[in-house]
Amino acid sequence: MDKRVLVLNLDHSPIAIVTVQKALVLSILEKVNCLSYYETLIVRTVSREFRYPAVIRLNEYKNIPYKGVILNRANIFRRDGQQCQYCGAVKNLTIDHIIPKSKGGKTNWTNLITACNRCNVYKGDKTPEQAGLKLMNEPFRPTLAFFIAEYAERHAEEWMPFLDFRTV
């Protein structure tokens, strides 16, 4: 039972990822409706069989204050696909301020990118234009759904129809 289950609020917004065991308990207690199942996976008990839930929706709306995705090194690397946004390198990665802090650049999602050490040192205390560098992708503030979709692409394609991973 190593599969995970996507939990949606009543308005279909993603709020959690839980184990199959937790999803089955919520289903038996009639707190959720199952919207999608994993195709060939079944849980058998002595007297019953249950299909593996893939996506469940709460029967009651839960007000969960959303504070956004935490701005940290690991999440910036994940957003940028674990590669330098100037040259595409995947080794010796670090964080770069597009507009340097010394020139008024802020520490936020739209000013931080993943850069390899070589490009970061080459760029130095300049903007990418001043250093003659071009960004591969424009930085953005990711949503929780963006990271859930990243997980789903590798482990749970059944989730994809329920995810809207546009940025905010």
Residue ranges covered by each domain of the chain: 4-63+143-162, 73-131
The Cα–Cα gap between 9 and 87 comes to 40
For the full predicted model, state whether its pTM sits above 0.85. no
Candidates 102, 142, 133; CA nearest to 115 is 133
- Higher local confidence (pLDDT), 65 or 124: 124
Which segment of 44-48, 53-57, 119-123, 139-143 scores lowest on mean pLDDT? 44-48
The Cα–Cα gap between 54 and 8 comes to 11
> In the chain, what percentage of residues exceed pLDDT 70?
96
End-to-end CA separation in angstroms for the chain: 34
The residue with tokens 């590798």 is 154
CATH class held by domain 73-131: mainly alpha
**pLDDT value at residue 90:** 97
pLDDT at 47 over 70: yes
pLDDT in tens, 6-28: 999 999 888 888 999 999 999 99
Region 86-100: mean pLDDT is: 97
Region 153-165: mean pLDDT is: 75
